[in-house]
Chains A and B, each alone.
Chain A
Amino acid sequence: MTRRELLWLTGAGLLSGADPQNLSYPLRSLQGAVTPSEMFFVRDHFQPPELSLGTWKLRVEGRVQHPYELNFSDLVELPSRKMEAFLECAGNAANGSAISNGVWEGAPISVLLETARPTPAAAFVLLEGADRGALFPDRPTLPYTQIVPIEKCLDPSSLVVYKLNGLALPKKNGFPARALFAGWYGMDWVKWLQRIVVLGRDVGQTAFEQSGMNRVYNRVVQNEITRVAAVRVKSAIAWPANEAHLPAARHLLWGFAWSGSAPIRQVEVTTDGGKQWMPADLSSRPGQYAWTRWSCAWDAKPGEYMLMSRAIDQSGAQQPLQRDPRRKDTYELNWCAPVHCLVR
């Protein structure tokens, strides 16, 4: 990716297309552990499409023996799974709010694929949304697409979801159906899903490459480029806000912690910039793919402080104190970000 492209990507909204939405809400405005649907973050690439339940169709095709199309009624009447899972944008800043956690319901992608009977050559799955636009100024107008290995699609936790927090998906969150890849970054959770295409090992020229999507969401470590997928272990301080002025008192610091690899085992908090760490209480049960809310009592005396939180998951993965200096991309920003505050 060129520097010009990088600037284009990280500028206003993500990319081109008329009015892609870019919404998020401060984590401190959340009560409990589930993000209300209306407060879910949104990072769009293109303008949301106008879809209706009566006309929406999902086509399953490609390297399958039985390509088919299903409508919304067919989808809802398939065996379903309900799951609490967090959704994080791959470019969410350290201590950023492009992360939400909801209760999702939908049909396993494996069920949809089994009906289509993939051929032995099947290796990847292309997911296509109904939103479209030009990802880069020099690229054609194409639908939003992502390519995911078929193993991940066949995992029982990978779903085509149609419900969020008990109601239909809001339009901005992919109505009427979107992909859910639990524990993976949000770009693969293709919204306004309209097509699932099974691909062979040789992916060939798809809208994914033609649009330039293969050039973004990559981890660049020196000259090695790999695709961003599973969410790195991370925590965020929801309260207090950076540069807050607080009265000297016993305060409850709180926030959230999550990891795509394993449930959270522990969260630690420092108030002195990392010299001493104290354990936080996990106030919601860490789930396989759900975030956990944590809190930590702090007897704040007058002075200046640098707060940080650090999460450790059950696989032993620990949030790093700093960004890997070899990284040249703007994804997986999971280092322990400081929150400065003044107590008087």
Chain B
Amino acid sequence: MSLTGVLRFTALCVSAHCVLIAACPDPACLLTQVRVDLSRNDLDALKSNLRELAARFPNDLETHATLARILAEKNLFMLALAEALRAGPAATVQLAALENAVGAYSDALGNALPAEKNSQLPSELRASAAGVAGLSYESLGEPEPALEHLKTAIQLDPSRDNSYLALADLCERLQKYADAVDVLQQARLHAGDSPAMLLSLGADLIRAEKYSDGIQILHTLLQRDPKVEQAYISLADAARRMGNPDQEVEALEGLARCNPRYPMLHVLIARAMLNKEHPSYPAILRELALAERSTPADPDVFFLRGKVLAALGRQQEAISALRRSIELRPMEPGPYYQLAKLYQKLGKAGMAREQFERVKILETAGSFSEKMNK
């Protein structure tokens, strides 16, 4: 069909569509039109039909509740919210969930809290309301009521894993890692072992310093699905905390097999290798060369290279690498300090003093900005 033909056909379809809407005898017909608009991704037509529905069927609360559900399924949360508001009491919990999703947290609480307390409602619905209340309190920066409502959500419907995950996530943010572990262990009993659950539990066990239990859980997860990248990171974290660089390197090499393009992977491996009792400097330099190839402006690559070259006695190359690191990140004290030590070793006391002076400036600036941030 020629371009003119396509345009004429489109125009005919649009006008036929408009005629159809005007002739729609009931809301079901308009609902169909809304579905058509959604499938075409035609937001203007969609909004026009929603306005038409609101004008012609303002009291058909069920239709508006259905529309809210359809729109939410398409991630059109603000429009879904508009319809949930029209639906009123037919969609209170849905409305609260949408208000929370668009960031209207106080409104979400206004609708969720009465629904949570309403013993006439099914417990699953009350659990949803309690979950929404918990998340809204969390977004408003009120962790204590957030914890309480998420716990209530679990009590009302213990089979729903997202309530446990939300509660554990909040405990993590509050650095209550032992509490997060308790929540996730409860979840395993009542809601099953989803990969997300195992990953959170493994990571939280490590944060709670229960390293062997955490490592065991993460290995169980990786046996089921070796592609969970974050599990390798948590295993590396455990090894680092336990002071075991060999295991840390092993975990990161597992990550490299899983995703060789993982961000900063080679720098992480190089850093772990450098912590070994007898580091293989040539191997570290090879990792850093790989890191430089993927991120040529990463100051950590040059900082670590400077340290390695200094350890190998290649002083001039070390100085160049550290200077490059400073060029890329001039406000980081580490490279100045390494440079100062190198100059000291080379007997250049004046140059060493100059670098130590800069470390002092940056440390003062650091503590000043910390104070400012508080």
Cα–Cα, bound, A119→B294 (Å) = 64
Within the complex, which residue of A26, A52, A80, A247 is in contact with B358, where a contact is CB–CB below 8 Å? A247
Cα–Cα, bound, A249→B299 (Å) = 14
**A248 contacts the other chain (Cβ, under 8 Å)?**
yes
A132 CB to nearest B CB, Å: 20
- In the complex, per-residue mask of B315-335: 1 if CB is within 8 Å of any chain A CB, else 0: 000000000001100110000
Report yes or no: B85 in contact with A247, Cβ–Cβ below 8 A. no
Most chain A beta carbons < 10 A, residue from B51, B79, B103: B103
**B60 contacts the other chain (Cβ, under 8 Å)?**
no
Report yes or no: B358 in contact with A53, Cβ–Cβ below 8 A. no
A42 CB to nearest B CB, Å: 16
Could you tell me which A residues sit within 8 Å of B by CB distance? 26, 37, 52-54, 71-74, 76-80, 162-163, 167-168, 170-171, 175-176, 244-251, 344
A244 to B, closest residue via Cβ = B365
Partner-binding segment picked from B104-112, B194-202, B221-229, B305-313:
B104-112
Question: Given A77-B79, A175-B104, A249 and B330 touching (CB < 8 A)?
Answer: yes
Cα–Cα, bound, A72→B51 (Å) = 12
B357 to A, closest residue via Cβ = A344
**Complex interface: chain B residues within 8 A of A246 (CB):** 330-331, 361
Report yes or no: A251 in contact with B86, Cβ–Cβ below 8 A. no
Report yes or no: B85 in contact with A71, Cβ–Cβ below 8 A. yes
Report yes or no: B361 in contact with A73, Cβ–Cβ below 8 A. no
Within the complex, which residue of A71, A77, A244, A245 is in contact with B51, where a contact is CB–CB below 8 Å? A77
**B287 contacts the other chain (Cβ, under 8 Å)?**
no
Report yes or no: B330 in contact with A250, Cβ–Cβ below 8 A. yes
**B44 contacts the other chain (Cβ, under 8 Å)?**
yes
Within 70-97 of B, Cβ neighbours of A (below 8 Å) are at: 78-79, 81-83, 85-86
Report yes or no: B330 in contact with A54, Cβ–Cβ below 8 A. no
Known: A76-B81, A163-B102, A251-B331. 16 other contacts (CB 8 A): A53-B104, A54-B110, A73-B86, A74-B51, A79-B44, A80-B47, A162-B78, A168-B102, A168-B104, A175-B104, A245-B361, A247-B362, A249-B327, A249-B330, A250-B327, A344-B357
Q: How large is the interface on B (under 10, 10 to 19, 20 to 34, 35 or more residues)?
A: 20 to 34
**B290 contacts the other chain (Cβ, under 8 Å)?**
no
**Complex interface: chain B residues within 8 A of A249 (CB):** 326-327, 330, 358
Across chains A and B, which 6 residue pairs bring their CB atoms closest together, nearest first?
A167-B103, A247-B358, A249-B330, A73-B82, A76-B82, A168-B103
A78 to B, closest residue via Cβ = B47
A110 CB to nearest B CB, Å: 16
Report yes or no: A73 in contact with B330, Cβ–Cβ below 8 A. no
Report yes or no: A73 in contact with B83, Cβ–Cβ below 8 A. yes
Report yes or no: B361 in contact with A53, Cβ–Cβ below 8 A. no
Cα–Cα, bound, A344→B326 (Å) = 15
Within 349-367 of B, Cβ neighbours of A (below 8 Å) are at: 357-358, 361-362, 364-365
**B272 contacts the other chain (Cβ, under 8 Å)?**
no
A167 to B, closest residue via Cβ = B103
Report yes or no: B85 in contact with A72, Cβ–Cβ below 8 A. yes
Cα–Cα, bound, A175→B107 (Å) = 11
Report yes or no: A77 in contact with B54, Cβ–Cβ below 8 A. yes
Q: Is the interface of B mostly helix, strand, loop or mixed?
A: helix
Cα–Cα, bound, A171→B139 (Å) = 13
Cα–Cα, bound, A163→B82 (Å) = 13
Within the complex, which residue of A26, A73, A176, A251 is in contact with B104, where a contact is CB–CB below 8 Å? A176
A302 to B, closest residue via Cβ = B354
Report yes or no: B336 in contact with A247, Cβ–Cβ below 8 A. yes
Within the complex, which residue of B54, B107, B327, B357 is in contact with A73, where a contact is CB–CB below 8 Å? B54
Report yes or no: A77 in contact with B47, Cβ–Cβ below 8 A. yes
**Complex interface: chain B residues within 8 A of A247 (CB):** 330-331, 336, 358, 361-362
Cα–Cα, bound, A162→B44 (Å) = 17
Within 256-274 of B, Cβ neighbours of A (below 8 Å) are at: none
Within the complex, which residue of A53, A80, A344 is in contact with B81, where a contact is CB–CB below 8 Å? A53
B224 CB to nearest A CB, Å: 35
A53 to B, closest residue via Cβ = B107
**Complex interface: chain B residues within 8 A of A250 (CB):** 327, 330
Cα–Cα, bound, A73→B78 (Å) = 9
B141 to A, closest residue via Cβ = A38
**B248 contacts the other chain (Cβ, under 8 Å)?**
no
**B288 contacts the other chain (Cβ, under 8 Å)?**
no
Report yes or no: A171 in contact with B106, Cβ–Cβ below 8 A. yes
Within the complex, which residue of A80, A175, A251 is in contact with B330, where a contact is CB–CB below 8 Å? A251
A72 to B, closest residue via Cβ = B85
A71 CB to nearest B CB, Å: 7
A65 CB to nearest B CB, Å: 19
**Complex interface: chain B residues within 8 A of A175 (CB):** 104
A134 CB to nearest B CB, Å: 27
**Complex interface: chain A residues within 8 A of B116 (CB):** none
Within the complex, which residue of B44, B81, B104, B365 is in contact with A245, where a contact is CB–CB below 8 Å? B365
Write 14 A-B pairs (CB below 8 A) sorted by A numbering. A53-B85, A76-B82, A77-B54, A77-B79, A79-B47, A167-B103, A168-B78, A246-B330, A246-B331, A247-B331, A247-B336, A249-B358, A250-B327, A251-B331
**B50 contacts the other chain (Cβ, under 8 Å)?**
yes
Report yes or no: A77 in contact with B82, Cβ–Cβ below 8 A. yes
A343 CB to nearest B CB, Å: 9
Cα–Cα, bound, A215→B110 (Å) = 40
A77 CB to nearest B CB, Å: 5
A244 CB to nearest B CB, Å: 7
**B172 contacts the other chain (Cβ, under 8 Å)?**
no
Most chain A beta carbons < 10 A, residue from B83, B99, B102, B372: B102
Question: Given A77-B51, A168-B104, A249-B327, A52 and B110 touching (CB < 8 A)?
Answer: yes
Question: Given A53-B99, A53-B104, A73 and B85 touching (CB < 8 A)?
Answer: yes
Report yes or no: A77 in contact with B50, Cβ–Cβ below 8 A. yes
Cα–Cα, bound, A317→B85 (Å) = 47
**Complex interface: chain B residues within 8 A of A162 (CB):** 78
Cα–Cα, bound, A248→B83 (Å) = 60
B52 to A, closest residue via Cβ = A77
A344 CB to nearest B CB, Å: 6
B43 to A, closest residue via Cβ = A80
**Complex interface: chain B residues within 8 A of A80 (CB):** 47
A299 to B, closest residue via Cβ = B327
A175 CB to nearest B CB, Å: 7
Most chain A beta carbons < 10 A, residue from B51, B81, B83, B331: B331
